[in-house]
Amino acid sequence: MQSPDRNHSDHHSATPRNEGLRRYSVAHFLIALVVLLLGMPFVAELEHGRLIESAIFTVVLLSGVAAVGGRRRTLIIAALLLAPAAITRWVDHFQPGPTPRVFTILAISAFLIFVLLNLFRFILHAPHVNSEVVCAGISGYLVLGILWAMAFLLVARTYPGSFAFSGGAAGETLDGYNAIYLSFGSLSTLGFTEVVPISRQARMMAVFEALSGMFYVATLISRLVALYSRRATGDIHE
């Protein structure tokens, strides 16, 4: 027969530590991501749409820090990566140009990679499934799509003419919305045809994004099933 102290210790170890700075930080990050993605096409039509989009994106970055800042070391690193990402984003807003935009893409990409890795680590080490783990899984998928959109924007600026547009205005370029549209079309393997990668670099990026999306979903599902099965087995033994 186990002692009460042992039972208390087992129960404590089975409770997942919050990944975020606060209890619902990951859920707030997910909400911010959804607002950004759904609001982009509507905000762009407003008079100060680009300013509003930059403000929403800044909120996403801040909520991303809170989402992975449950440990002091992680919080410090996330804050250090946030600074150049946010600053270059606003510099690009007030002084747009090829050079600031490249720095913005690289800074935001570095921050998103860090957030994605921490969310994925949290999912892999969680002892059981709860709402925070589910929110982390969905947030990671959306971050992956935005990260690949940044990669497409970088390819478009490094290799001009890498993307073709059908049914659009002549001379249309790959902007933030079009990159997001192409990215999630590739990530979900839906294969939208309005934005088409035509250079070898862009096509290979689209292929690797589709593969990363499939591997992410497969890994996430297998992990969640394993956690659920472990919990179900524990309930049966009890």
Q: How many residues does this entry show for the chain?
A: 238
Specify the higher pLDDT residue, 227 or 15. Answer: 227
Euclidean distance between CA atoms 31 and 189, whole angstroms: 24
Cβ–Cβ under 8 Å, residues 79 and 114:
no
Quick one: pLDDT at residue 17? 55
The three-state secondary structure class of 21 is coil
Q: What's the CA gap between 151 and 105, in Å, rounded?
A: 8
The SS3 call for residue 28 is helix
Report pTM.
0.83
User: What is the spatial distance between Cα 168 and Cα 163, in angstroms, rounded to a whole number?
Assistant: 12
Question: What pLDDT shows up at residue 10?
Answer: 40
Residue 236 has pLDDT above 90, yes or no: no
Q: Which amino acid is at 135?
A: C
